[in-house]
Structure 1
Amino acid sequence: MADLPETWCVPVVRADFRDDDVWRQIKDDIVSPTEEGFVAGVEFVEDRALAGLSGTAIAAGYPRAYPHQYRHPVLFVVDAVTVSLSERPLLVVNLNEGYETGPFRALPRQVQAIENNLSIANMDFHEFARSAGPDGVFRGF
């Protein structure tokens, strides 16, 4: 597996390279402030080493080692599923050591809430994961 990008902000990793327009739209949705004025503290990373891997393989490739090995408690991934579905749900990977909650998906406009709350430890990963719909996608509270 590729190394987690060394970023100051939470990484949003591009792992599917089929559609540059979709990538730009997802980035625009993530960097746009919410209605409440919140912005996501993210950094966009293109990682061709992840191209073609399933979401499960990508998530399994990053051990849960925050805060000892990683700077961030979460990783967002734009993979083949993200690109193929109309809502563009990103894979949200848990990096917290000791937390067994697996990945879920979230709409691009929810990245702000997830990143903001996890980065300041206002909420835990499992709170977002269990609030995902029956299809495994978090659309907000």
Structure 2
Amino acid sequence: MLPEIVGRDAFAALVIRTDYDDESAWRAVVAEVSQPWGLNGEYEARVHLVDDPVWAGAAPDAVLGVVERDEELSVVFVADKVTMRSAHRALLALDTFVEDEDLDPMYYQELIDSPPAREFRTTPAAVHDVHVNLAIANLDFQDFTEAALADPEGVLRPMG
């Protein structure tokens, strides 16, 4: 059973490592996600890293099962096998939003017919753009998903 994540500052992006095959790749992810961000690097990177082998091989659904209890978290970033093997170290961004159980039947049918994407890939440099904009409801998850899909490699890059 995966442990509960404790001590995360609400303003810190959550990055969970699930692949332990390449330590240098992980260090590269950590270095990039820890860089100041914004147009001129004016913002300090705030990130909560989970680097515990108990998470090794954890599937996205298992990660979501743990983090869904954090009501202030709108996205979690996973450093998985794809992350560690890709040149751009693209993390898997997972939508943590849970639909209300009392959905309007028409809206519920729309969700069944065309469910919104719940994940996309993002470079570590774009993590903070995603985290902050979702936290303040400036953009929604679908906005980022569409931007990632517009990229030739299907990866969200830093904004601006």
| TM-score grouping bracket, smaller chain normalisation | 0.7 to 0.9
Please point out which of 27, 31, 35 is paired with 1:28.
31
Gaps of 5+ in 1: none
What TM-score comes out, normalization by structure 2 length?
Answer: 0.73
Aligned to 2:125: 109
Shift of residue 125, structure 1, vs aligned partner: 1.1
- Give the secondary structure class of the aligned counterpart of 1:111: helix
One-letter amino acid of the structure 1 residue matched with residue 26 of structure 2:
W
What letter matches 1:15 in structure 2? T
Give the corresponding residue for 1:136: 154
Residue 32 (structure 1) shift: 0.7
Could you say which structure has the higher helix fraction?
A: 2
Structure 1 residue ranges, 4+ long, deviating more than 4 angstroms after superposition: 63-66
One-letter code of the match for 2:45? Answer: A
Please identify the structure whose Cα radius of gyration is greater.
Answer: 2
Q: Percent identical across equivalent pairs?
A: 30
**Distance change (3 Å), C-alpha of 1:135 and 1:38:** same
Q: TM-score normalised to the size of structure 1?
A: 0.81
Determine which of 34, 44, 47 is the counterpart of 2:49.
44
| Equivalent position of 1:12 in the other structure | 15
1:44/1:65 Cα in 2 relative to 1: closer, same or farther (>3 Å)? Answer: closer
Q: 1:42 Cα shift?
A: 1.5
Q: Distance in 1 between matches of 2:119 and 2:24?
A: 25
Contact 2:2 2:66 in 1 (8 A): no
Q: Please say if residues 76 and 95 of structure 2, whose CA atoms lie closer than 8 Å, have aligned partners that are also in contact.
A: yes
Q: Distance in 1 between matches of 2:88 and 2:52?
A: 22
CA RMSD of aligned residues (A): 2.4
Contact 1:40 1:115 in 2 (8 A): no
Offset at residue 48 of structure 1 (A): 2.1
Conservation of the 8 A alpha-carbon contact between 2:3 and 2:66: no
1:74: Cα distance to partner?
Answer: 0.7
Q: How many pairs does the alignment contain?
A: 135
Offset at residue 135 of structure 1 (A): 3.8
Deviations 1:84-131 (A, max 9, x none): 111110000110122943111101111121112112221111110111
2:3, 2:117 → 1: CA distance?
Answer: 21
**Residue deviations 1:17-50 (CA, integer Å, cap 9, x gap):** 1222221111111111134323433211113233
